Chains A and B, each alone.
Chain A
Amino acid sequence: YTSNDLNFIHFNDPKWSSMWYIHCGDKNNRCRSEMNILAAWQRGYTGKNVVVTILDDGIEKNHPDLSQNFDQLASYDVNGNDHDPTPRYDSSNENKHGTRCAGEVAAVANNSHCIVGIAFNARIGGIRMLDGDVTDVVEAKSLGIRPDYIDIYSASWGPEDDGKTVDGPGPLAKQAFEMGIKKGRKGLGSIFVWASGNGGRQGDHCSCDGYTNSIYTISVSSTTESGAKPWYLEVCSSTLATSYSSGEFYDRKIVTTDLRQRCTDGHTGTSVSAPMVAGVIALALEANPLITWRDVQHLLVKTSRPAHLKASDWKTNAAGHRVSHLYGFGLVDAEAMVVEAKKWRNVPPQHICTETSTYRTRYIRADQQLNATITTSGCADHPGQQVVYLEHVVVRVLISHSRRGDLQINLVSPAGTRSQLLAKRLFDNSNEGFRNWEFMTVHCWGEKVEGQWTLEVLDSPSQMRNPEVLGKLKEWSLIFHGTSEHPYHSHSSQHSRSRMLEIPSPGPSLERKALVLLPEEDEEEGEEEEEYSGPCHTECRDRSCDGPAADHCLNCIHFSLGNLKTGRTCVSHCPRGYFEDTEARRCRRCAKGCERCVGQGPGACRSCRRGLYLYGADGTCMESCPVGYYAEEIQRRCLKCHENCMRCLRDADRCTACSKGYSLAGMTCVPECADGTFFHLEEMKCSPCHHSCFTCTGPGKEECIHCAQDFLQQDWACVPVCSEGYYPGEAASLAQRMCRRCEENCLSCQGPGVTCSRCRDGYSLVGGSCIINATCNNADEVFCEMVKSNRLCEKKLFRQFCCKTCLIAG
Chain B
Amino acid sequence: PSSRSLYTNHWAVRVRGGPQEAERLALKYGFNNLGQIGSLEDHYHFHHSKVVRRSTFSTRGPHSFIHMDPKVDWIQQQVVKSRVKR
Give me the interface of A with B, judged by CB distance under 8 Å: 56-57, 81, 97, 130, 133-137, 139-145, 147, 156-161, 165, 167, 170-172, 175-176, 179-180, 183-184, 195, 197-198, 269-271, 646-647, 657-658, 664, 705, 732-734
Residue pair A160, B84 in contact (C-beta under 8 Å): yes
- Identify 5 residue pairs between A and B in the complex whose beta-carbon atoms are under 8 Å apart, listed by A's number: A140-B43, A179-B40, A183-B39, A184-B39, A198-B84
Q: A143 contacts which chain B residues (CB < 8 A)? A: 38
Residue pair A159, B82 in contact (C-beta under 8 Å): yes
Q: Could you tell me the distance in whole angstroms from the C-beta of A808 to the nearest C-beta in chain B?
A: 38
Residue pair A158, B86 in contact (C-beta under 8 Å): yes
Q: Give complex CA distance A156, B68 in Å.
A: 39
Q: B45 contacts which chain A residues (CB < 8 A)? A: 137, 141
Q: A647 contacts which chain B residues (CB < 8 A)? A: 70
Cβ-closest 5 pairs across A and B? A144-B38, A144-B39, A135-B78, A657-B70, A733-B30
Q: Give complex CA distance A137, B79 in Å.
A: 9
Given A133-B8, A157-B86, A647-B70, A176 contacting B38 (CB threshold 8 A): yes
Q: B37 contacts which chain A residues (CB < 8 A)? A: 137, 140-141, 144, 172, 176
Residue pair B86, A197 in contact (C-beta under 8 Å): yes
Residue pair A147, B39 in contact (C-beta under 8 Å): yes
Interface size of B by CB at 8 A reads 26
Residue pair B86, A156 in contact (C-beta under 8 Å): yes
Q: B50 contacts which chain A residues (CB < 8 A)? A: 732-733
Residue pair A658, B70 in contact (C-beta under 8 Å): yes
Residue pair B62, A734 in contact (C-beta under 8 Å): yes
B80 at interface, CB cutoff 8 A: yes
Q: A141 contacts which chain B residues (CB < 8 A)? A: 37-38, 45
Given A136-B12, A137-B10, A172-B40, A158 contacting B84 (CB threshold 8 A): yes
Residue pair B81, A130 in contact (C-beta under 8 Å): no
Interface flags for B1-29 (1: CB within 8 Å of A; 0: not) read: 00000001010100000000000000000
Q: Give complex CA distance A169, B31 in Å.
A: 25
Q: B82 contacts which chain A residues (CB < 8 A)? A: 134, 159-160, 165, 167
Q: B86 contacts which chain A residues (CB < 8 A)? A: 156-158, 161, 195, 197-198, 269-271
Residue pair A130, B38 in contact (C-beta under 8 Å): no
Q: A197 contacts which chain B residues (CB < 8 A)? A: 86
Residue pair B40, A144 in contact (C-beta under 8 Å): yes
Q: Could you tell me the distance in whole angstroms from the C-beta of B28 to the nearest C-beta in chain A?
A: 9
Q: Could you tell me the distance in whole angstroms from the C-beta of B59 to the nearest C-beta in chain A?
A: 14
Q: A705 contacts which chain B residues (CB < 8 A)? A: 62
Residue pair A134, B80 in contact (C-beta under 8 Å): yes
Given A133-B54, A141-B45, A57 contacting B39 (CB threshold 8 A): no
Q: Could you tell me the distance in whole angstroms from the C-beta of A237 to the nearest C-beta in chain B?
A: 19
The chain A residue sitting closest to B30, CB to CB, is: A733
Most buried by A among B34, B79, B81: B81
Q: B81 contacts which chain A residues (CB < 8 A)? A: 134-136, 139, 159, 167, 170
The chain A residue sitting closest to B9, CB to CB, is: A133
Q: Give complex CA distance A76, B20 in Å.
A: 24
Interface flags for B45-64 (1: CB within 8 Å of A; 0: not) read: 10000100010000000100
Residue pair B10, A646 in contact (C-beta under 8 Å): no
Q: Could you tell me the distance in whole angstroms from the C-beta of A539 to the nearest C-beta in chain B?
A: 48
Residue pair B38, A140 in contact (C-beta under 8 Å): yes
Residue pair A646, B70 in contact (C-beta under 8 Å): yes
Residue pair A157, B85 in contact (C-beta under 8 Å): yes
Name the one of B38, B39, B79 contacting A135, with C-beta atoms under 8 angstroms.
Answer: B79
Name the one of B30, B62, B78, B84 contacting A159, with C-beta atoms under 8 angstroms.
Answer: B84
Q: Give complex CA distance A664, B43 in Å.
A: 24
Other than the given A135-B80, A175-B40, 6 more pairs (CB < 8 A) read A130-B85, A133-B80, A137-B37, A144-B38, A158-B86, A172-B43
Q: Give complex CA distance A146, B40 in Å.
A: 12
Name the one of A97, A172, A270, A658 contacting B12, with C-beta atoms under 8 angstroms.
Answer: A172
Most buried by B among A170, A197, A733: A733
Name the one of A97, A176, A179 contacting B85, with C-beta atoms under 8 angstroms.
Answer: A97
Residue pair B85, A56 in contact (C-beta under 8 Å): yes
Given A133-B8, A136-B12, A180 contacting B85 (CB threshold 8 A): no
The chain A residue sitting closest to B81, CB to CB, is: A134
The chain B residue sitting closest to A96, CB to CB, is: B85
Residue pair B40, A135 in contact (C-beta under 8 Å): no
Residue pair A81, B34 in contact (C-beta under 8 Å): yes
Given A647-B70, A733-B50, A134 contacting B39 (CB threshold 8 A): no
The chain B residue sitting closest to A663, CB to CB, is: B68
Given A158-B84, A160-B82, A197-B86, A176 contacting B8 (CB threshold 8 A): no
Given A137-B78, A142-B38, A157 contacting B43 (CB threshold 8 A): no
Q: A733 contacts which chain B residues (CB < 8 A)? A: 30, 50, 62
Residue pair A130, B83 in contact (C-beta under 8 Å): yes
Q: Could you tell me the distance in whole angstroms from the C-beta of A222 to the nearest C-beta in chain B?
A: 10
Q: Give complex CA distance A172, B81 in Å.
A: 13
Most buried by A among B8, B10, B84, B86: B86
Residue pair B85, A135 in contact (C-beta under 8 Å): no
Q: Could you tell me the distance in whole angstroms from the C-beta of A477 to the nearest C-beta in chain B?
A: 24
The chain A residue sitting closest to B69, CB to CB, is: A657
Q: B54 contacts which chain A residues (CB < 8 A)? A: 133
Q: Give complex CA distance A134, B70 in Å.
A: 29
Q: Could you tell me the distance in whole angstroms from the C-beta of B34 to the nearest C-beta in chain A?
A: 7
The chain A residue sitting closest to B68, CB to CB, is: A664
Q: Could you tell me the distance in whole angstroms from the C-beta of A276 to the nearest C-beta in chain B?
A: 13
Q: Give complex CA distance A657, B10 in Å.
A: 23
Q: Give complex CA distance A769, B75 in Å.
A: 43
Given A81-B34, A176-B40, A137 contacting B12 (CB threshold 8 A): yes
Q: A271 contacts which chain B residues (CB < 8 A)? A: 85-86
Q: Could you tell me the distance in whole angstroms from the C-beta of B39 to the nearest C-beta in chain A?
A: 4
Residue pair B85, A57 in contact (C-beta under 8 Å): yes
Q: Give complex CA distance A271, B85 in Å.
A: 8
Q: Give complex CA distance A734, B50 in Å.
A: 12
Q: Could you tell me the distance in whole angstroms from the C-beta of A127 to the nearest C-beta in chain B?
A: 10
Q: B68 contacts which chain A residues (CB < 8 A)? A: 657, 664
Most buried by A among B12, B43, B76, B83: B83
Q: Could you tell me the distance in whole angstroms from the C-beta of A736 to the nearest C-beta in chain B?
A: 11
Residue pair A134, B30 in contact (C-beta under 8 Å): no
Q: Give complex CA distance A171, B81 in Å.
A: 13
Q: B10 contacts which chain A residues (CB < 8 A)? A: 135, 137
Q: A172 contacts which chain B residues (CB < 8 A)? A: 12, 37, 40, 43
Q: Could you tell me the distance in whole angstroms from the C-beta of A196 to the nearest C-beta in chain B?
A: 8
Residue pair B80, A179 in contact (C-beta under 8 Å): no
Q: Could you tell me the distance in whole angstroms from the C-beta of B3 to the nearest C-beta in chain A?
A: 11
Q: Could you tell me the distance in whole angstroms from the C-beta of B86 to the nearest C-beta in chain A?
A: 4
